[in-house]
Structure 1
Amino acid sequence: MSSPRNSVVHNVIDVLRCFSTEAPLVGVTDIAAQVGLHKSSVSRLLATLESEGWVEQDPSTRKYQLGLGLIAIAGPLLANLNVRQVAHPYLNELAATSQETTVLALWEDAASVTVEQIASDRTIKHTSPLGARYTSTGSATVQIFLAELTFSAVEDLINSGTIRLQDGWTLDELRQRLEIVRERGYATNLRETFDDEIGIAAPVYDHHSQVVATVLLAAPSYRIDDHTIDTLIKQCTAAAAKISTRMGHPASHETVER
């Protein structure tokens, strides 16, 4: 059931929408006229928003402007959108070079989530729908994200059922695999989750040297041999390094330059 349009939440949204790049400073009277509320109601709403840091009052004009508190709310979204924007041309380049599907995945609520995809132009291909969530340790992107955690944290995710241990794997085997992922700088899924699919993933780092995303190459297994895998690994890790450089990671810059 939808909430009524005159709810407090809707009033707050209407007030916030009064601010724009063209009109960054707005007075109570103007806001009241725009949203159709009494000035006293607008004043109370602005006082609440000011206490949260969502708006600020200019001491000279007594008008209001948006506050820095909104950044704390929008920050995670802005960060994700930023890495998608930075990654997009490199995903396109990787898809053209490899002729396979390229994907950008983020770690969200203990799952690897597809947020961008460039599908292969080939008739037979593997794709990952936007919003698809992967939680098996057999997934190459999941391995990249898990490799950044302590193994006790990984065990907690598995024991809670949040992350699924790939069929046939033991915890010791997973520990060894994640150590190899950290050492090599990439992860593979060679027909381990699906018989007809292979996946190669590499981490994207930001200026804090934190993994903020994963680049994935997905391809049908029938056209992949050992030589092709080596080539795809080099292409995938190179693309991830370029994106990391654009995200401000200095170590990736050195890798790309070599």
Structure 2
Amino acid sequence: MNDDQATPNPTKDRKFVEALSRGLDVLRAFSQGSVVLGNQDISRITGLPKPTVSRMTYTLTKLGYLAYSPQLEKYQLDSGVLALGYAYVSNLRVRQLAKPYLDEFARNTNTSVGLTCRDRLSMIYVENCRPAEITSLRMDVGVRLPLATTAAGRAYLAAMKEEERRHVMSSLAERHPDTWPELKQQLEESFRDYEKYGFCLSLGDWDRNVNAAGVALHLQDGTLMALTCGAPTYLVSEEKVKNQLAHQLAILARDIERLGV
């Protein structure tokens, strides 16, 4: 079963539509890295029975969310998914208002800076700005980052309500059984950093060649997002991230929050 996030238990929620949940799980399977998937691949990723997957892929193809290749006998995402994603990003007011601030921050600090939201056990970029000098850290809109090892994910976790964070931490433990003790220790250290300094760090933890900082962003409607800035280690040292960039990023987050989004 795909444990990217513990989904609501339909046996505990009478309003929960299990068939819809399964259809969305089929679509989410394509976020695991493969461009094209067959029914057997989707069944393996989602844990759903193959006959169920076959009905879901047939329906999603009819609705324009999947396209079927007779040559490959596999499916890929179709334009219906793109339309939904574009509608979300284009109508995200915080993205529109924050972009000039992100552009200026990227120019002044020579780092890649991004606005992210959570999807299960991942953070997804909804905006990213970077100077021309940083060509090796390309994070386009829609790129997914792991929740546990990135600065953005750690900051998001640190700012979550305690009960919800425990729920997500349990899902992370299930997903990373072999490395969980070490990963849990790193996360707890990040939470202490957030409580003390207002930011979290990822110094080679996600990518050994990248140093990054992350801060939570609280929107007026209660939505929680995260800002992150980072650069290759040869451009930005650990000391600079800790002592300068992380603090500047925290100030940027407060500036964006004051926009009233």
Q: Does 1:128 align with 2:142?
A: no
CA displacement, residues 23-58 of structure 1 (integer Å, 9 cap, x when unaligned): xxxxxxxxxxxxxxxxxxxxxxxxxxxxxxxxxxxx
Tell me the secondary structure at the aligned position of residue 218 of structure 1.
strand
CA distance in 2: counterparts of 1:228 and 1:85, whole angstroms:
29
Name the SS for the 2:171 alignment partner.
Answer: helix
Identity %: 17
Distance verdict in 2 for CA 1:124–1:168, change over 3 Å: farther
CA drift at 1:183: 3.2
1:220 to 228, 232, 237: 232
Question: 1:173 deviation in Å?
Answer: 4.2
Bigger Cα Rg:
1
| Residues 96 and 238 (structure 1), Cα distance of their counterparts in 2 relative to 1, 3 Å cut | same
1:108 match: 119
Contact 1:105 1:213 in 2 (8 A): yes
- Contact residue 209 and residue 233 of structure 2 kept, 8 A: yes
Corresponding residue number in structure 1 for 2:172: 158
Deviations 1:87-128 (A, max 9, x none): 111111111111111111111233210111112221554222
**C-alpha distance 184-241 of structure 1, shift in aligned 2 (>3 A):** same
Cα distance in 2, alignment partners of residues 136 and 164 from structure 1: 15
Whole-Å separation in 2 of the counterparts to 1:128 and 1:108: 16
Cα distance in 2 between the residues matched to 1:141 and 1:191: 14
Identify the residue that residue 142 of structure 1 maps to in structure 2. 153
Deviation at 1:176, TM superposition (A): 3.5
Query: After the TM superposition, which residues 74-93 of structure 1 pair with which residues of structure 2 at under 5 Å, given as runs?
Result: 77=88, 81-93=92-104
Give the letter aligned to residue 98 of structure 1: T
| TM-score (normalised: structure 1) | 0.59
> Is the 1:83–1:247 Cα contact (8 Å) retained in structure 2?
no
Aligned in 2, Cα 1:128/1:181: closer, same or farther, shift over 3 Å? same
Mapping of residues 32-71 of structure 1, within 5 Å: none
Over the residues paired in the alignment, what is the CA RMSD in angstroms?
A: 3.1
Give 1:136 deviation, angstroms.
4.3
| Partner SS state of residue 143, structure 1 | helix
Partner of residue 193 from structure 2, selected from 169, 180, 184: 180
Partner of 1:195: 208
Indicate if the aligned counterparts of 1:203 and 1:211 stay in contact, CA closer than 8 A.
no
- Provide closer, same or farther for how the CA distance between residues 224 and 88 of structure 1 changes in structure 2, counting only shifts above 3 A: same
Secondary structure (helix, strand or coil) at the match of 1:169 reads helix
- Which runs of 5 or more structure 2 residues have no equivalent in the other structure? 1-57, 65-86
Q: Give the number of aligned pairs.
A: 177
Cα 1:115–1:200 shift into 2, 3 Å: same
Where structure 1 has 5 or more consecutive residues not aligned to the other structure, the ranges are 6-75, 249-258
Provide the residue aligned with 1:232 in structure 2: 245
1:216 aligned partner, one-letter code? T
- 2:257 corresponds in structure 1 to 244
Query: Residue 101 of structure 1 contacts residue 125 of structure 1 at CA under 8 Å; is this kept in 2?
Result: no
Alignment correspondent of 2:22: none
Structure 1 SS opposite 2:149 = coil
State the AA in 1 paired with 2:236: I
